[in-house]
């Protein structure tokens, strides 16, 4: 048994608080567990398990068995579980000694999670989660992960979480149905172990030999991760044709701040523009006077945006409940000519089929309009490696009983699951429509306080700060 001090890259307080720190690991680290005080992982080269204590020391327990991969902590028994070919080992976390062995008919296991009276075992040969019943000592079923290279499994928040080194993402599964209910993007290149402890998600990054904390947001509707921050300065050029601008108003629509992107610090160079609202949307508004002149107008403003990578997964809970469109989406759809009663499942099928058959977003939108599905159009900047790549049109649709979901691209890509939608952190929405009509710019004008707002065309340029 050897003891040596590891490098703690970010040390602010005790590991008991599980703050975001990164711990240096050995060359062939695999799996991850937490016993309430210490991290544990496997060193496949040494054929050992290694404990990292609260002051950052590592302690090695040599087991001498080949192909060790799965490691977990069974809180009911207070034991460390380690999976070797055709056996599960139970270890005392104080001494590292083996207290029990369980035979299993699986030779190539990637991970194990203890849930009540069951062990959920990740079988590498089949990519299947096998369920082992401790009371009968039998495999009683399971489900296929449908992942290319699943690497580890853990349990938390009533779900199973599986790491996949093919795309270095973490996938959340329903324990009863085995269906994917969301995923988290890590932005790493060689993910192995995965651990959900309280509100913290930890992974083993084999390439950088570190344990890393992956920030994410989880709600009933989505999981968000992979944050990017952008700082933009926008210039708008547009024309006012009115001879007299007395009592007229100009409103500049802010980029939307929502669950996909959080807009902060919107500041206008012209201080005569002040914060206000149009139809619950944030704007900067200017009240014009007789001193203001018609013709070309130039407005500059800047803002910052923190964008999340969000994956939405529509579960049966939403598809099976009765629902009606809320009042705030009325302006985003038209009732079909025929009074046809459709369920949320029907609408989900319609959206899926339209994504496959539509040749453009305008074609897709017309399809949604015909079927009475609310649509909100928007224009966004698509970034690549921190640099703007293109300006594209896209939209969100409102799924009955679920809410707004993004259709960033019509193509389904590699994911053909009709319940799955995503919004990338590299897509920044500049402005969106206020109703079913497309907005041509974020600039709105009205002749006086009693007139309707008119959307004006504008030339838009921007700088990335």
* Cα–Cα distance, 172 to 180 (Å, whole number): 6
String of b and e for 39-58 (b: at least 16 CB within 10 Å)?
A: bbbbbbebebbbbbeeeeeb
Q: Which two tokens stand for residue 319?
A: 């598809």
Query: Residue 378 pLDDT more than 90?
Result: yes
* Cα–Cα distance, 443 to 252 (Å, whole number): 5
As a three-state string, the secondary structure of the chain is CCEEECCECCCCCCHHHCCCCCEECCCCEEEEEECCCCEEEEECCCCEEEEECCCCEEEEEECCCCCCCEEEEECCCCEEEEEECCEEEEECCCCCCEEEEEECCCCCEEEEEEECCEEEEEECCCCEEEEEECCCCEEEEEEECCCCCEEEEEEECCEEEEEECCCCEEEEEECCCCCEEEEEECCCCCEEEEEEECCEEEEEECCCCEEEECCCEECCCEEEEEEEEEEEEEEEEEEECCCCCCCCEEEEECCCCCCCEEEEEEEECCCCCEEEEECCEEEEEEECCCCCCCEEEEEEEEEEEEEEEEEEECCHHHHCCCCCCCHHHHHHCCCCCCCCCCCHHHHHHHHHHHHHHCCCHHHHHHHHHHCCCCEEEEEEEEEECCEEEEEEEEEEEEECCCEEEEECCCCCCCCCCCCEEEECCCEEEEEECCCCCCCCCCEEEECCCCCCCEEECCEEEEEEC
pLDDT in tens, 262-312: 899 999 999 999 999 998 889 999 999 888 889 999 999 999 998 988 888
Instruction: Give 147's pLDDT tier (boundaries 50, 70, 90).
Output: confident
Query: Residue 49 pLDDT more than 50?
Result: yes
Q: What pLDDT is recorded for position 1?
A: 37
Beta pairing, strands 48-52 & 281-287 = unpaired
Query: Residue 19 pLDDT more than 50?
Result: no
Q: Residues 28-35: what's their mean pLDDT?
A: 89
Q: Which of 186, 191, 225, 227 is nearest to 208 (CA)?
A: 191
Instruction: Give 220's pLDDT tier (boundaries 50, 70, 90).
Output: confident
| CA 48 centroid distance within chain | 34
Q: Residues 421-434: what's their mean pLDDT?
A: 92
Which domains are present in the chain?
3-215 (2.120.10.30), 226-465 (no CATH)
Q: Which of 213, 244, 287 is nearest to 9 (CA)?
A: 213
Query: Residue 261 pLDDT more than 50?
Result: yes
* Cα–Cα distance, 208 to 30 (Å, whole number): 13
* Cα–Cα distance, 420 to 313 (Å, whole number): 5
* Cα–Cα distance, 457 to 441 (Å, whole number): 6
Instruction: Give 413's pLDDT tier (boundaries 50, 70, 90).
Output: low
Q: What pLDDT is recorded for position 415?
A: 64
Q: Which of 393, 390, 378 is nearest to 256 (CA)?
A: 378
Residue with token string 């680290």 = 29
pLDDT in tens, 177-198: 888 888 888 878 889 899 988 7
Does residue 85 contact residue 69 with C-beta atoms inside 8 Å?
no
* Cα–Cα distance, 379 to 430 (Å, whole number): 6
Instruction: Give 95's pLDDT tier (boundaries 50, 70, 90).
Output: confident
- Taking the chain, what is the end-to-end CA distance rounded to the nearest angstrom? 53
């Amino acid at each position: 048994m050897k003891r040596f001090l590891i490098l703690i890259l970010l040390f602010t307080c005790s590991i008991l608080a599980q703050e975001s720190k990164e711990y240096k690991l050995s060359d062939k680290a695999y799996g991850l567990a937490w016993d309430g005080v210490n991290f544990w992982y496997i060193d496949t080269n040494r054929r050992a398990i290694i404990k990292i204590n609260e002051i950052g020391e590592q302690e090695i327990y040599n087991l001498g068995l080949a192909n060790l991969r799965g490691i977990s902590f069974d809180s009911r028994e207070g034991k460390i579980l380690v999976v070797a070919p055709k056996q599960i080992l139970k270890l005392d976390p104080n001494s590292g000694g083996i207290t029990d062995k369980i035979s299993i008919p699986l030779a190539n296991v990637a991970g194990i999670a203890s849930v009540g009276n069951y062990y959920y075992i990740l079988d590498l040969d089949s990519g299947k989660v096998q369920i082992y019943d401790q009371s009968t000592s039998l495999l009683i079923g399971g489900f296929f992960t449908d992942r290319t290279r699943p690497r580890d499994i853990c349990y938390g928040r009533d779900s199973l979480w599986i790491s996949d080194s093919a795309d270095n993402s973490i996938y959340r599964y329903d324990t009863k149905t085995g269906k994917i209910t969301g995923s988290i993007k890590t932005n790493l290149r060689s993910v192995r172990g995965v651990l959900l402890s309280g509100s913290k998600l930890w992974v083993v990054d084999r390439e950088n030999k570190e344990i890393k904390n992956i920030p994410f947001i989880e709600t009933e509707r989505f999981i968000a991760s992979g944050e990017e921050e952008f700082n933009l300065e926008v210039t708008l050029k547009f024309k006012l044709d009115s001879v007299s601008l007395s009592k007229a108003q100009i409103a500049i629509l802010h980029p939307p701040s929502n669950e996909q992107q959080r807009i902060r610090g919107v500041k206008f160079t012209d201080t005569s523009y002040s914060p206000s609202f149009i139809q619950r949307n944030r704007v900067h508004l200017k009240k014009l006077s007789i001193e203001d002149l018609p013709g070309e107008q130039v407005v500059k403003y800047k803002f910052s945006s923190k964008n999340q990578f969000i994956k939405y997964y529509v579960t049966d809970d939403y598809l099976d409940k009765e629902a009606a469109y809320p009042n705030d989406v009325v302006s985003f759809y038209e009732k079909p000519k025929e009074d046809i009663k459709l369920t949320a499942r029907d609408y989900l099928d319609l959206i899926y089929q339209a994504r496959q058959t539509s040749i453009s977003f305008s074609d897709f939108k017309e399809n949604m309009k015909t079927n009475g599905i609310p649509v909100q159009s928007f224009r966004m900047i698509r970034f690549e490696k921190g640099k703007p790549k293109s300006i594209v049109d896209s939209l969100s649709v409102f799924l009955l009983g679920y809410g707004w979901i993004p259709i960033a691209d019509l193509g389904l890509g590699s994911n053909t699951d009709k319940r799955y939608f995503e919004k990338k952190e590299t897509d920044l929405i500049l402005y969106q429509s206020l109703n079913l009509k497309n907005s041509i710019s974020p600039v709105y004008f009205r002749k006086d306080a009693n007139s309707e707002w008119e959307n004006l065309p504008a030339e838009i340029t921007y700088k990335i700060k």
